[in-house]
Structure 1
Amino acid sequence: MLERGKVTNRQAAFLLMFTTVIATAVLFVPAITAAAAKQDGWLSLLVVATTYGLVVALVIVKLGLRFPDKTLVEYAPLVLGPFLGKLVGAGYIFWFVHVNAIIVREFGDFLLSAFLPETPLMAFNIILLLLAALAVKSGLEVICRANEFIIPLFFLSLAAIVALVAHNADFSNLLPLLEKGFKPVLRGGLAPSGWRGEIVVMMMILPYINYPDKTGRYLAASVVLIGVVLSLATVMTTAVMGGLTEHLTFPFFSLARYIAVARFLERMEVLILVMWVAGVTIKVAVFYYAAALGAGQLLGLRDYRPVVLPIGVILAAWSHGLYEDARELVVWLATIWPPYAYTFELIIPSLLLLVAVLRKKGGAHVGR
C-alpha cells in the first residue's frame, strides 16, 4: 500500500466528503439551480441531487466492499483485464486532475471577482496549490484531521449568515410551489447532482478506512446533510434576492454582502471568504491526493509523493488556461459538467460493478 495511514468513517466518509462537495457548491449551485427551477431550486437540491448522490454512494461502496484492500486504480484491471483496467484507471486520474484544475480556477475567479481584482490569477492558484501539496505529502490522516478543524468553522459561518439575513427574507419569493410541475425541478438538479457525485473520490480512500462495512451509512448521511445545507442556503438566497438569484455569479456571497445590522455589523462576506478558502483547500487536497495516489499505483511506484510536484505543475498551468472568466465557467458548469460528471461518477462505476458481479470478481472470488 502506498498509503500507510488509516482514518475513521466519521473522518472520511462523513466529514471529509461533506467538505469536498460543499466547498464549491455553496457558492455556485444556487444560481445554476435557480436558472432552471426558479423558486423551486431548493427542491432540486434536496430531492433530485440527493437521490443521485445516494445512488452513487451505493455503487461505490458495493465496489469497495468487493475489493476491500484496493483502490479503483488497483481493482479495475482485476475486473476488466490489464489493458482496459489500466485505461480506466488512467481515465480517472485524468478526471481527478481536470476537476481539480476547475476547482482551483473557481477559487481564483471568486477571489478576483469579489476581493482582489488587481491580483494576478496565477498568484491565487499557486498559493492554493502549495497549501494543498503540503497536505497531500503529509498523507490522508493529516487531511482528515485538518478538515475536522474546519467543519465547525463552516457551520458557524453558515449559521451566522443565515441568522443575520433572516429579517430581510421574504418567503413569498418561494411561492408558488411547483408552479410549472416537477420537470423544472429535475432540470434544476442536473448540475448539482454532478457536484453531489464528487463523493466518487471515495473509491480512492475506501481501502484506508477502518470498518469499511459501516462506510455506506456514513456516506449516505453526508450526502443527505449536504442536501439539507445547500437547500437551506438556496432557500435563504431566494427569499432575500428573489428572481435576481439566477443572474448572480455568486449568490450566496451576495447574500452575505447584504448583511448590515445596526450600522456596525457589516462586511460579513469575510465569513464567506474564510469558509471558502478553508474548504477549497481541503477539497483541492482531496482530489490532488486521489490523483497522486492513483498515478503512483498506475506507475508501480513505492510511494506516491514523487508525483505530487509534477501534478501540481500541471494543475497550475491547466487551471490558468481553462476559461476566460467566471461567467464562462458558470456556463460550462451548467451545460457540460452534468454529463461529464455522470460518466465518471455513476456510469463507469456501475459498469465496473456489473462486470465484477457477472465475472465473479472480488468478494469471495478474489484471487480466482
Structure 2
Amino acid sequence: MEKGKISSLQMAFMMYPTIVATALLGVPSITAKYAKNDLWLSPIFATLIGCLTVYIAFKLHKLYPKQTVIQLSERIIGVIPGKILGFLFLFFYIQNTGLVLRSYGEFVVDSFLVKTPISVIMASMVLLCAFIVRGGIEVLGRAAELFVPIFILPICILIILLIPDLEFKNIFPILGNGIMPPIKGAIVPGGWFSEFFLIIFLLPFLADMKKGMKAGMMTVFAVTMTLMVVNLMVLFVLGSSTASKVYPLMNVSRYISIGDFFEHLESAVMAVWIVGAFVKISVFYYAAALGTAQWLNLSGYRPVVWPIGILIVEFGFWSFPSSMDVNRNDINVFPFQGMLMQTIIPLLLLVIAVIRKKNGQNKGSSSS
C-alpha cells in the first residue's frame, strides 16, 4: 500500500509543526484564562500527555509491527468491534482536519485577505495538500524537512526583536494562586499533545526504528520548549491582557518597531501559520487517507485521496457556522475529544493487547 520509507528525523520534522502550528496562535490566550501569569507552566504539565501518548503508540507498534491503529484494532478487539472503532478514528481525523482547515481559513481571512472568500482559501490549501499526500510518505517527509526551518526561523526572529519590549516583572508572582491554575490551563494544550498519536500511522514506514522512540520523545520536548518560550514572550509583552486576545502572538508582533521603518511584522506570523498549517493538514490528511484505505481493505490509498479531500473541506464548513464556534470547540470540546480518542482509547487497546499476549503465552506454556 505504501512503499516509501522515512527516517526518525523526518518523522520528528513532520510531528513538530503538526503540534505547534495551531497551538502557537490560540493556546497562550486560552491557558491565560485559567493560569493567568503562570501560563508558561501549563505546557510542562501538558507534556505528560505527549510522553504518555508517544509511549502508547510505540508499545502498540512493537506488539503489532507494520500495522496502524486501524489494522491493529481488529487484531486486538475483533473484526466487527475493530471496524467500528476504526470508523470512529477515521471520523475523528477527517473532522479535525476540517477543523484545522477552517481555523486556517478564518485566521487568513480575518487578519489579511478580508475580501477573499474563505472557501477559496480552504480549497486551495486542500488542493496543495492533496498533491503532496498522493506523492507518498517520502515526499511528505522531505517537504517537512524543507519547511520546518522556514517555520522556526520567523519565530526566532520575532523573539529576538521583541527583547526591548519585554517586561520581566509580568511573570510575578509565580504560583501565586497555587498549582491548580496552571494544571487547569494544561488541559487545552493537552489536547494538542495527544495528537502525537499520529505517529502510529508513520511508525510502520520508519527506516531506523531503533531511533523512533528517542525521536518521538525529543519532539515532545521541542514542542514543550517552543510553547513555553512563546507563552513567556506573550506574557512579558501583554501581561494580564493576554487572556483577552484571540491571537496574542499576532498582537505581540505589532509591538516591534526598530528605527521607525522595521515594523508591522504580522507577515512573519502569517508565514509561520501557513507553513505550519500546510504540514499539519498534510499529516492529518495522509493519516485519514491511509486509514480509510486500510479500513476498506484497498490495495492502495491514492484512489481515496481526492474524496477524502472533499470531505475535509465539507467538514470545515458543516462543523461550525462561525469563527466563534471554532474557538469554543478548541476550548470546550477538542481537548477532551482529542485525549479520549488519541490517549485514553489507545491506552485501553494497549492494556487489552498486553493481557491477550500474556494469556496466549500462559496457554502455550501450559499445553507444552
Equivalent position of 1:134 in the other structure: 131
Supply the distance in 2 between the matched residues of 1:325 and 1:251 (Cα, whole angstroms). 20
Equivalent position of 1:90 in the other structure: 87
Structure 1: segments with no counterpart, 5+ residues: none
Supply the distance in 2 between the matched residues of 1:362 and 1:17 (Cα, whole angstroms). 35
SS at match of 1:323: coil
Contact 1:38-1:243 at 8 Å conserved across structures: yes
Equivalent position of 1:39 in the other structure: 37
Measured after TM superposition, the shift of residue 248 of structure 1 is 0.8
Q: Does 2:256 match 1:259?
A: yes
Supply the distance in 1 between the matched residues of 2:217 and 2:205 (Cα, whole angstroms). 18
Supply the distance in 2 between the matched residues of 1:354 and 1:63 (Cα, whole angstroms). 10
Equivalent position of 1:280 in the other structure: 277
Give matches, 1:1-368, under 5 Å: 2-12=1-11, 14-45=12-43, 47-360=44-357
Q: Deviations over 1:271-293 (max 9, x none)?
A: 11111111111110100000100
Measured after TM superposition, the shift of residue 184 of structure 1 is 0.5
Counting matched residue pairs gives: 362
Supply the distance in 2 between the matched residues of 1:312 and 1:332 (Cα, whole angstroms). 22
Contact 1:198-1:345 at 8 Å conserved across structures: yes
Q: Deviations over 1:229-257 (max 9, x none)?
A: 01100100011011111111111111112
Q: Deviations over 1:67-113 (max 9, x none)?
A: 11111111111111100111111111111101101100110010111
2:351 partner amino acid: L
Supply the distance in 2 between the matched residues of 1:59 and 1:22 (Cα, whole angstroms). 21
Measured after TM superposition, the shift of residue 362 of structure 1 is 12
Contact 1:66-1:362 at 8 Å conserved across structures: no
Supply the distance in 2 between the matched residues of 1:362 and 1:165 (Cα, whole angstroms). 59
Q: Deviations over 1:189-245 (max 9, x none)?
A: 001010011111111111001232331111011001100001100100011011111
2:207 partner amino acid: N
Moved more, 328-337 or 157-166: 328-337
Supply the distance in 1 between the matched residues of 2:15 and 2:361 (Cα, whole angstroms). 29
1:79 partner amino acid: I
Contact 1:26-1:230 at 8 Å conserved across structures: yes
Supply the distance in 1 between the matched residues of 2:234 and 2:264 (Cα, whole angstroms). 17
Measured after TM superposition, the shift of residue 361 of structure 1 is 8.1
Measured after TM superposition, the shift of residue 363 of structure 1 is 11
1:241 partner amino acid: L
Q: Deviations over 1:141-177 (max 9, x none)?
A: 1111111111111221011001111111101111100
Q: Deviations over 1:349-368 (max 9, x none)?
A: 00110110111189999xxx
Supply the distance in 1 between the matched residues of 2:219 and 2:126 (Cα, whole angstroms). 26
Supply the distance in 1 between the matched residues of 2:230 and 2:331 (Cα, whole angstroms). 18
Supply the distance in 2 between the matched residues of 1:155 and 1:137 (Cα, whole angstroms). 26
SS at match of 2:263: coil
Supply the distance in 2 between the matched residues of 1:286 and 1:361 (Cα, whole angstroms). 34
1:138 partner amino acid: G
> How high is the sequence identity, in percent, across the aligned residues?
32
Moved more, 211-220 or 79-88: 211-220
1:3 partner amino acid: E
Measured after TM superposition, the shift of residue 323 of structure 1 is 2.3
Q: Deviations over 1:298-329 (max 9, x none)?
A: 11111101111111111111102332333332
1:123 partner amino acid: V
SS at match of 1:359: helix
2:192 partner amino acid: W
Runs of 4+ in 1 over 3 A off after TM superposition: 361-365
Supply the distance in 2 between the matched residues of 1:93 and 1:271 (Cα, whole angstroms). 34
Supply the distance in 2 between the matched residues of 1:286 and 1:254 (Cα, whole angstroms). 29
Supply the distance in 1 between the matched residues of 2:52 and 2:272 (Cα, whole angstroms). 28
Supply the distance in 2 between the matched residues of 1:203 and 1:363 (Cα, whole angstroms). 24
Structure 2: segments with no counterpart, 5+ residues: 363-368
Supply the distance in 2 between the matched residues of 1:91 and 1:308 (Cα, whole angstroms). 19
